[in-house]
Structure 1
């Protein structure tokens, strides 16, 4: 007897549900332990499975980490995109603040996912050859880089404070332009990196507890000042 047409979809749904449970269990263990390290044996124990059974869903630890990294980048990108969508069109300064605050908030709410994608490199981890994690990273970070493109199209992108571009950085800008069609000049490509670096630096310091000696109001004020400095240096409209 041939299988019914619904058999395969039901099996696929069950497999997808198990894959999602494995990923959520791995994240839960990371949160519980405050680390990004996790073992198949620990995941299997929590899920009441045998460790070899997990290999039916993930070939090895690297494949699981790659799936978690892609999920984290997608979550970050969606969070920043949602924050930007709440800003009135054309208000680049407000969009910069909204995007940066969303980046910072997500890092605080999801420290293990943040560490997976923007923390220290995972020991002995090899990214997939197909570039899927790199593509996910590009989609997420485009939420920040596209602010410069938007400002350019609106006539709101001024000259960056630092105009000189080292040939090595200019080459990076050219490669990014060819691969991702980033429309800004090498000077503003450099400025994008100059803007992202302090945003990420502040977020990382805060996420790792290095600003815990300051109260929340002080951290918020310091963060907004950092965003204003970064915008001014990069040629973006400066938030009030």
Structure 2
């Protein structure tokens, strides 16, 4: 499926490696101008080279998602330069620790919630007016099966991803009458640094490469996408509806 994103402005967080890195490249290949955000300047510079190599263009924005003021200012900067935002891929996040709930240090739990949840909310708040100015805004909020499985020792991460999905669903419900489409995405087990941190004994060669996941995300940001407020499970290539009690 050929996707034309010419003239579109796309914001990707966690763009210096993994799924964010390759999603940024795919967006650029499709014609979007990519606003790439990450903490690692070197990784962003490598991304810029890769995007130029495929004939694309990018604006690099190095900052830490813990800097809430920078998130707030990002929307203003995008508005000043482009006046709108067409695509958001909120990909950045941290694992925290694999530990019994009662053993997690308060500062660790707070950091996971701050980066994964509060920063995502601040990002949504910052770009929502810009995305409503797009004729076909598309937002992908990266989640995880951990939000639903709630396996032992994954309490902080699972809670953070459940919260992120709730934010995405609420945002989608608030904007369902607009052209803006908002989806949560479960990328599944992927060959990333976070996965290696969580499963150090796992053979990464048995997992999909993040470039494969990135390619699967492209139809979700296409102008033809009509679904909103749902969870897309990449490995199964299907939408999961949220049922009300």
Give your verdict on TM over 0.5.
no
Larger radius of gyration: 1
Question: More strand by proportion, 1 or 2?
Answer: 2
Question: More helix by proportion, 1 or 2?
Answer: 1
